[in-house]
């Protein structure tokens, strides 16, 4: 094995020197890196550590928390509070803003500590998603208002995927890079430099059991994919659905594809299924930085103006030409 590898720490320091940075990003991401290593360890131990099963409580979303949801949330809060980089934090698992007492940090951290946790008990990949914003001048970091910034304001975003290997994929606004955890040495190693999404794809991911709720534009797109080479697309498509957004987005990043969880007639009253601030926005930032496109079907996701911390939104993201096609279908449906 060659040890001429670039670790995440070296990569961040190289980026810092290249950009003439102050070391802020290095500090911001250091504690997130450690939290993800700890969560990877607990996820990988699974049943051996008694980590599977329900925690016996509901989260702010009204969902049954898994034991690992609670543990991952505690790890993210504790590790990132110690570093002092953040003035405040927001978590999928917490109703309100988590105040960081005595914080001098100028950044805000938002995260879904363990996304896809319904898959844990059946050993399917899960992940952590994070988004970093600046604390706006003059706003109180303990107020929800400070967090309600559109996705274009993110300074960094990423995810950890606890799969067959543990990976950390992140962007600080200059492309997307993927790191694989060397479990024996305990360091993340740069294994996927400058990740790019092909503009075209033959693969789509959607929960097909929701077809009866879809808008006509989504139904049209999926029907054309299903019609394959005998239909208007003139080629066959493949469908995937893992029910773990981090795993789906990672597959799209690695080989192209389009991921759809659109707002539909059943979830529209809530705004959709996926959460804007700590699922859709960080993933949209990553997808765009890798040359893809991320939309609600009618609007660029990163330009959605948030109105509440846990608001939900329709998500269509991935290969640029396919997302553009879906946006065109929504436009035709709306008569635009």
Name the residues that contact ligand P6P, by CB under 6 A: 115-116, 118, 207, 243-245, 261, 274
Provide the minimum distance between the beta carbon of 232 and ligand P6P in the complex, in angstroms, as a whole number.
27
In terms of CB distance, is 147 or 159 closer to ligand P6P?
159
In terms of CB distance, is 205 or 217 closer to ligand P6P?
205
Which are the contacts of 86, defined by CB distance < 8 A and separation ≥ 6?
28, 80, 100, 103, 105, 107, 108, 109
What are 241's two structure tokens? 């659905």
Scan for tokens 């740069």, then name that residue: 190
In terms of CB distance, is 8 or 284 closer to ligand P6P?
284
In terms of CB distance, is 9 or 118 closer to ligand P6P?
118
Provide the minimum distance between the beta carbon of 63 and ligand P6P in the complex, in angstroms, as a whole number.
8
Provide the minimum distance between the beta carbon of 49 and ligand P6P in the complex, in angstroms, as a whole number.
22
d(CA 160, CA 29): 12
Largest separation between any pair of C-alpha atoms in the chain: 64
Q: Are 129 and 287 contacting, i.e. CB atoms less than 8 angstroms apart?
A: no
Provide the minimum distance between the beta carbon of 181 and ligand P6P in the complex, in angstroms, as a whole number.
21
Q: Are 133 and 105 contacting, i.e. CB atoms less than 8 angstroms apart?
A: no
In terms of CB distance, is 88 or 272 closer to ligand P6P?
272
Which are the contacts of 30, defined by CB distance < 8 A and separation ≥ 6?
9, 12, 83
Please, how many CA atoms are within 13 Å of residue 55, restricted to the half-sphere of its CB? Answer: 18
Q: Are 237 and 206 contacting, i.e. CB atoms less than 8 angstroms apart?
A: no
Residue nearest to ligand P6P (CB): 245
Provide the minimum distance between the beta carbon of 161 and ligand P6P in the complex, in angstroms, as a whole number.
11
Provide the minimum distance between the beta carbon of 179 and ligand P6P in the complex, in angstroms, as a whole number.
21
In terms of CB distance, is 47 or 243 closer to ligand P6P?
243
């Amino acid at each position: 094995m060659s040890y001429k590898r670039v670790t995440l720490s070296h990569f961040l320091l190289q980026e810092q020197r290249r950009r003439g940075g102050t070391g802020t990003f290095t500090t911001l991401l250091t504690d997130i890196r450690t939290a993800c290593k700890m969560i990877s360890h607990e996820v990988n131990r699974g049943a051996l550590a008694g980590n599977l099963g329900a925690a016996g409580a509901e989260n702010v979303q009204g969902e049954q928390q898994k034991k690992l949801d609670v543990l991952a949330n505690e790890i993210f809060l504790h590790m990132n509070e110690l570093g002092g980089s953040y003035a405040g934090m927001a978590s999928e698992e917490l109703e309100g803003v988590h105040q960081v007492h005595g914080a001098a940090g100028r950044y805000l951290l938002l995260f879904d500590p363990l996304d896809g946790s319904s898959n844990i008990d059946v050993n399917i990949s899960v992940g952590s998603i994070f988004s970093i914003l600046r604390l706006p001048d003059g706003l109180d970091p303990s107020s929800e208002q400070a967090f309600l910034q559109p996705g274009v304001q993110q300074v960094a975003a990423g995810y950890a995927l606890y799969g067959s290997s543990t990976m950390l994929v992140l962007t600080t606004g200059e492309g997307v890079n993927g790191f694989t955890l060397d479990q024996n040495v305990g360091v993340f190693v740069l294994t996927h430099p400058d990740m790019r999404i092909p503009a075209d794809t033959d693969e789509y991911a959607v929960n097909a059991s929701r077809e009866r709720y879809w808008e006509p534009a989504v139904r049209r797109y999926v029907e054309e994919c299903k019609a394959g080479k005998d239909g208007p697309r003139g080629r066959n498509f493949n469908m995937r659905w893992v029910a773990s957004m981090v795993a789906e987005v990672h597959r799209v990043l690695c080989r192209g594809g389009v991921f759809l969880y659109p707002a539909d007639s059943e979830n529209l009253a809530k705004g959709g299924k996926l959460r804007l601030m700590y699922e859709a926005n960080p993933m949209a930032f990553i997808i765009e930085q890798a040359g893809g496109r991320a939309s609600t079907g009618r609007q660029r996701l990163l330009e959605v103006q948030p109105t509440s911390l846990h608001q939900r939104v329709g998500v269509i993201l991935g290969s640029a030409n396919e997302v553009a096609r879906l946006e065109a279908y929504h436009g035709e449906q709306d008569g635009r």
